[in-house]
Amino acid sequence: MRVGRIQRLTVSRISDYGLYLADDEAEEVLLPNRYVSLDMKVGDEIEVFVYHDSEDRLVASTERPLITEGCVAALTVVDKNVHGAFLDWGLAGKDLFLPNRNQQGGVIAGRKTLVYLYIDDKTGRCVATNKFKAFVHNDPPLTVAEGDEVSLLVASEMPIGYRVIIDNRHWGMLYKNQLFKRVNVGDTLHGYVRRITEDYRIDVSLQQQGLAEVEHSVERLVELLRSNGGRLPLNDRSRPEEVAAMTEMSKKVFKRAVGMLMKRGEIVQTETGIESTKK
């Protein structure tokens, strides 16, 4: 049974307080009545999150937290005291603790802070930290390769772009001159590894590269045409800003996608935009 993880457990018995769930080694945890539905019965498998409640008891919940063990997320600070801060991680009646020793930079109530969740060796409880060095780094061997599809968490803004956390493990850079939609610190995005340098710096993009990027853009244009009555007010003479605002792609990729659709005979280009040939 893994604290801080979402897992499937089996209903082993029923009590006045809820259902007891067991793992493969017969270790049990209580799923309180507030999470129990009438159709749950002994033998059922239930997907739950396991953690310690406010009274330090190990419990299960069918709620989905905003962060799990080994992951990074931007969470709202709901309270502070002399020992640390408390974060909203999406579980009713229980906040995630961020001890003073784990804080780096200002942590302000009402604002979001970027944290990593780990399990404390001594208490076995879920704990947050702003200090990522031991958990997020680019030391070899890397777990990603060029071309991989990855998850990105926007960590901070820099003059040239955004520093991102890749798959909760590595640091990467998302350059502003390759962005065609608005990005904010704390956003979770899907992206692609563009380049890995000899010193293990990782550049990422929100678009696939090469033919895969064009094929994805073709699908995007077809969907936009379908949702806009078969017409789009964009063509080869449209400004790059107009193309980016409507399609979230560069002018270059847009023109390649248009060319591919025209070659297939699926669209025509007019003075005012592009139109689908499929009625």
Is residue 115 located within the same domain as residue 171? no
So what's the pLDDT on residue 279? 62
Domain end marker among 157, 189, 205: 205
Name the least confident of 11-15, 20-24, 75-79, 182-186.
182-186
Cβ pair 202, 173 in contact under 8 A? yes
Is 25 a member of any domain?
A: yes
Residue pLDDT, tens place only, 100-127? 999 998 899 999 999 999 999 999 999 9
Q: What phi-psi label fits residue 245: left (phi over 0), alpha (psi between -120 and 50 degrees) or beta?
A: alpha
Is 134 a member of any domain?
A: no
Is residue 167 located within the same domain as residue 225? no
Question: For residues 161 and 214, what is the distance between their CA atoms, to the nearest angstrom?
Answer: 24
Is residue 272 located within the same domain as residue 216? yes
Classify residue 31 by burial, with Cβ atoms within 10 Å: 0-12, 13-18, 19+. buried
Closest CA to 7 of 19, 18, 16, 24: 24
In this predicted structure, the answer to whether residue 13 has a pLDDT above a threshold of 70 is yes
Is residue 197 located within the same domain as residue 169? yes
In this predicted structure, the answer to whether residue 242 has a pLDDT above a threshold of 70 is yes
Domain end marker among 190, 205, 220: 205
Domain end marker among 159, 176, 205: 205
Band (pLDDT 50/70/90 cuts) for residue 167 is very high
Is 217 a member of any domain?
A: yes
Is 250 a member of any domain?
A: yes
Is 66 a member of any domain?
A: no
Is 1 a member of any domain?
A: no
In this predicted structure, the answer to whether residue 159 has a pLDDT above a threshold of 80 is yes
Question: For residues 132 and 138, what is the distance between their CA atoms, to the nearest angstrom?
Answer: 12
Is residue 120 located within the same domain as residue 173? no
Name the least confident of 21-35, 42-56, 258-272.
258-272
So what's the pLDDT on residue 211? 63
Is residue 53 located within the same domain as residue 84? no
In this predicted structure, the answer to whether residue 2 has a pLDDT above a threshold of 80 is yes
Range of the domain at 182: 149-205
In this predicted structure, the answer to whether residue 30 has a pLDDT above a threshold of 90 is yes
Is residue 237 located within the same domain as residue 219? yes
- Could you tell me the CATH number of the domain that includes residue 55? 2.40.50.140
Tokens 């956390």, residue located: 165
Closest CA to 158 of 173, 171, 169: 173
Band (pLDDT 50/70/90 cuts) for residue 58 is very high
Is residue 84 located within the same domain as residue 125? yes
Is residue 214 located within the same domain as residue 270? yes
DSSP character at residue 246: H
Is residue 101 located within the same domain as residue 118? yes
Cβ pair 96, 117 in contact under 8 A? yes
Is residue 56 located within the same domain as residue 77? no
Residue pLDDT, tens place only, 186-233? 999 999 999 999 999 999 998 877 666 677 788 888 889 989 999 999
> How many structural domains is the chain composed of?
4
Dihedral of the alpha carbons of 231, 233, 235, 241, in degrees to the nearest 10: -140
Is 139 a member of any domain?
A: no
Is residue 87 located within the same domain as residue 123? yes
Is 136 a member of any domain?
A: no
Band (pLDDT 50/70/90 cuts) for residue 264 is confident
